[in-house]
C-alpha cells in the first residue's frame, strides 16, 4: 500500500498495520475538518478540543505505528475517541449520538486482534462505566450553546454511519481472517493428504521390497535344505538329523557321502553369525566338500581337508568370517574313524564295551577355527566304532541355550542329558529339541539347532 512494513512485524499482521496507518491519517484529517466545522458553528470548546488534543494525538499515533509500536498507537487513538465523545456529550448533549459511537468504540476493542481477552474485558467495562455516567449526568447540554435540530440530526446521522462503517470493517476483517484460516487449513489438509499418499506409497514399496526379499530368502532357505543329504534309513550306516535355523538363513550346514565302497565321509559346519552372509559361506563350503573341489587335498585325510579349507576360506577374504567344523572318515571294513575338528564342539560317541556296559566318548582334536589364521597345522585322531555305536555331531546351538534364570546350559549338562535320554516314541533328537525349548521357555532358540545322528 505504499508503506514499508517494519521488519519486526509478522507477515500475517502486515496488512492490519497498513490499514491502521491509513486510519490514523483519516482520523487526523477528519478531526481537523471537524474542528473547523465547530469553529464555524461557534462551538469553540469543541473546536479547541479537536485542534489542541485530537489532531496531535492522531499524529503521534501515526508516528508510533510507523515505528511498529502498534499497541501504544492504538491506545492513544482509542483514548482520543472516548474523550472526544465525553467532551461532545458534555458540551453538546446526548443528542450527538454517543450511544452509537459507543458501539463503534466497542467494535474497535475486538478489531485489535492483538489484545488479549482480559484487556478487552477491561476496556468494555470502562466503556460501560463511562456510558452509564454520561447517561445519568450529561443527557442535556451543560452550556448555553443551542444547536439547531438539523445539526443534531447531522451528528446523529454521522454517528450512525460511522458505526455502520466500523462494524462493516470489523465484519470484513474477521471474514477475511476466517477465509485465510480456512484456506490455510485446506492447504494444510491437502499437503497432509499428499504426504500421507507419499507415505503410503513408500510403505507399499517397502512392503513389496520386503515381500520380494522374504521370497528370495525362502527360496535360498529351500536351496540350503535341498543340498542337505537325505537321511539314510537302511544299510550298514543309517543317519538322521534335525536342522532348525534361528532365522530364515542360518550359518550351519552338514553332509555325508561315500568316498568309495568302503569309506564314508561325514561333516558338520558352523559359520560365525547368521543371515545371508553366513549361509552363503556355509553353502560354498558344502559344495566344495561335496564336489571335492579343493586343490591338492586328500579327502580321506581330515587334517588335509581342514588345512585346505583354511587356505581356501580365509577370513581376510570372506568378510572376516570364520567357521568351525567336525570332519570324519569312517572305514566300513576296519570300523576305524579318522576325524579332525577345528574349534568345533566334541562329537559324542555312544557305545558298549565287552560286558555290555554303556559308555560315551568325546571326539575332538585341539585345532584352531577355520579362516581365523593362515598357515595353521591341523591334527587328526582315530577311534574304533563299536557295533551298534551311535555318533552325534552338532553345532553349539544345541546346548548353548539361555535358560529362564539367565544362565546358559553347559556342554557337560547337555552330554549328561544325551546319556540319560532314552528314545521311545520320540527319537533322541526330538527329545533334545523339546528339552532345549523348555529350558529357553520359547518355541524359537537364539542359535541354529543342528545335529546329525549316525548309527553304525
pLDDT tens digits, 92-122:
776 665 655 555 565 555 555 556 667 767 7
Distance CA 73, CA 18 (A): 13
Distance CA 454, CA 231 (A): 10
Q: What is the structure's pLDDT at 233?
A: 92
Flag whether pLDDT at 2 surpasses 50.
no
Edge-to-edge strand order for the sheet containing 347-352? Answer: 238-244, 449-455, 390-394, 347-352, 358-363
Q: What is the DSSP letter of 142?
A: S
H helix intervals, 292-370: 302-312
Flag whether pLDDT at 124 surpasses 90.
no
Nine cell digits for residue 336:
576305524
Residue with cell 479547541: 48
> Residue 415's pLDDT band (boundaries 50, 70, 90)?
very high
What is the pLDDT averaged over residues 130-140? Answer: 70
What is the pLDDT averaged over residues 201-216? Answer: 82
Flag whether pLDDT at 204 surpasses 90.
no
What is the pLDDT averaged over residues 190-216? Answer: 85
> Residue 413's pLDDT band (boundaries 50, 70, 90)?
very high
Exposure string of 336-361, with b = 16+ CB inside 10 Å and e = fewer, is ebbbbbbbbbbbbbbbeeeeeeeeee
Instruction: Of 151-165, 227-241, 348-362, 393-407, give the lowest mean pLDDT range.
Output: 151-165
Neighbours of 45 (CB within 10 A): 14
- Fold of the domain spanning 232-455: Phosphatase 2c; domain 1 (3.60.40)
Distance of CA 312 to CAs 225, 309, 374, Å?
Answer: 24, 5, 10
Neighbours of 260 (CB within 10 A): 8
CB under 8 Å to 28, separation ≥6 — which residues? 55, 58, 59, 62
CB under 8 Å to 358, separation ≥6 — which residues? 350, 351, 352, 419
Averaged pLDDT score across all residues of the chain: 82
Residue ranges per structural domain of the chain? 11-191, 232-455
Check if the beta carbon of residue 229 is closer than 8 Å to that of residue 255.
Answer: yes
User: pLDDT tens digit string along 267-287?
Assistant: 999 998 777 888 888 889 999
The torsion angles phi and psi of 227, rounded to 5 degrees, stand at -85, -5
Q: What is the DSSP letter of 401?
A: -
Q: What is the structure's pLDDT at 7?
A: 64
Residue with cell 500421507: 196
Q: What is the structure's pLDDT at 335?
A: 95
> Residue 435's pLDDT band (boundaries 50, 70, 90)?
very high
What is the pLDDT averaged over residues 330-357? Answer: 88
Q: What is the structure's pLDDT at 6?
A: 62
Check if the beta carbon of residue 231 is closer than 8 Å to that of residue 239.
Answer: yes
What is the pLDDT averaged over residues 388-413? Answer: 92
Flag whether pLDDT at 150 surpasses 80.
no
> Residue 406's pLDDT band (boundaries 50, 70, 90)?
confident
108 vs 426, which has greater pLDDT?
A: 426
DSSP for 86-113, please give it.
HHHHHHH-GGGTHHHHHHHHHHHHHH-T
User: pLDDT tens digit string along 5-59?
Assistant: 666 666 656 666 777 778 788 888 888 888 898 888 888 888 898 899 888 998 9
This prediction's pTM: 0.59
Amino acid at each position: 500500500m505504499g508503506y514499508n512494513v517494519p521488519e519486526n512485524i509478522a507477515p500475517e499482521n502486515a496488512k492490519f498495520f497498513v490499514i491502521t496507518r491509513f486510519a490514523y491519517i483519516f482520523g487526523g484529517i477528519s478531526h481537523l475538518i471537524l474542528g473547523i466545522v465547530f469553529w464555524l458553528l461557534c462551538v469553540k470548546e469543541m473546536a479547541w478540543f479537536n485542534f489542541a488534543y485530537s489532531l496531535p494525538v492522531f499524529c503521534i499515533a501515526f508516528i508510533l505505528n510507523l515505528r511498529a509500536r502498534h499497541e501504544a498507537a492504538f491506545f492513544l487513538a482509542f483514548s482520543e475517541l472516548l474523550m472526544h465523545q465525553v467532551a461532545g456529550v458534555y458540551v453538546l448533549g446526548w443528542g450527538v449520538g454517543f450511544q452509537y459511537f459507543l458501539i463503534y468504540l466497542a467494535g474497535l476493542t475486538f478489531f485489535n486482534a492483538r489484545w488479549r481477552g482480559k484487556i478487552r474485558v477491561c476496556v468494555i467495562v470502562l466503556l460501560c462505566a463511562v456510558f452509564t455516567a454520561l447517561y445519568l449526568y450529561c443527557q442535556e447540554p451543560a452550556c448555553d450553546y443551542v444547536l439547531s435540530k438539523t445539526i443534531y440530526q447531522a451528528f446523529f446521522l454521522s454517528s450512525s454511519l460511522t458505526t455502520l462503517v466500523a462494524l462493516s470493517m470489523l465484519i470484513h476483517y474477521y471474514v477475511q481472517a476466517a477465509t485465510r484460516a480456512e484456506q490455510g487449513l485446506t492447504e494444510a489438509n491437502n499437503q497432509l493428504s499428499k504426504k500421507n499418499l507419499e507415505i503410503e506409497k513408500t510403505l507399499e514399496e517397502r512392503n513389496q521390497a520386503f515381500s520380494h526379499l522374504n521370497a528370495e530368502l525362502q527360496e535360498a532357505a529351500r536351496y540350503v535344505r535341498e543340498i542337505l543329504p537325505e537321511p539314510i534309513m537302511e544299510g550298514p550306516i543309517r543317519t538322521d538329523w534335525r536342522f532348525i535355523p534361528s532365522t530364515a538363513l542360518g550359518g550351519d550346514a552338514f553332509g555325508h557321502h561315500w568316498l568309495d565302497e568302503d569309506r564314508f565321509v561325514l561333516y558338520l559346519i558352523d559359520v560365525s553369525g547368521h543371515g545371508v552372509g553366513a549361509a552363503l559361506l556355509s553353502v560354498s563350503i558344502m559344495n566344495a566338500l561335496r564336489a571335492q573341489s579343493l586343490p591338492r587335498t586328500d579327502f580321506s585325510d581330515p587334517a588335509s581337508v581342514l588345512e585346505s579349507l583354511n587356505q581356501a576360506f580365509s577370513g581376510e577374504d570372506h568378510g572376516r568370517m570364520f567357521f568351525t567344523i567336525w570332519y570324519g572318515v569312517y572305514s566300513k571294513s576296519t570300523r576305524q574313524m579318522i576325524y579332525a575338528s577345528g574349534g568345533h564342539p566334541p562329537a559324542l560317541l555312544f557305545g558298549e564295551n565287552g560286558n555290555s556296559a554303556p559308555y560315551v566318548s568325546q571326539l575332538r582334536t585341539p585345532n584352531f577355527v577355520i579362516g581365523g589364521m593362515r598357515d595353521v597345522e591341523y591334527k587328526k585322531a582315530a577311534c574304533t566304532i563299536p557295533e551298534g555305536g551311535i555318533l552325534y555331531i552338532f553345532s553349539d546351538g544345541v546346548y548353548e541355550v539361555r535358560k529362564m534364570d539367565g544362565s546358559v546350559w553347559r556342554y557337560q549338562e547337555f552330554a549328561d542329558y544325551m546319556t540319560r535320554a532314552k528314545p521311545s516314541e520320540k527319537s533322541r533328537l526330538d527329545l533334545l529339541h523339546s528339552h532345549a525349548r523348555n529350558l529357553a521357555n520359547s518355541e524359537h532358540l537364539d542359535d541354529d539347532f543342528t545335529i546329525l545322528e549316525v548309527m553304525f
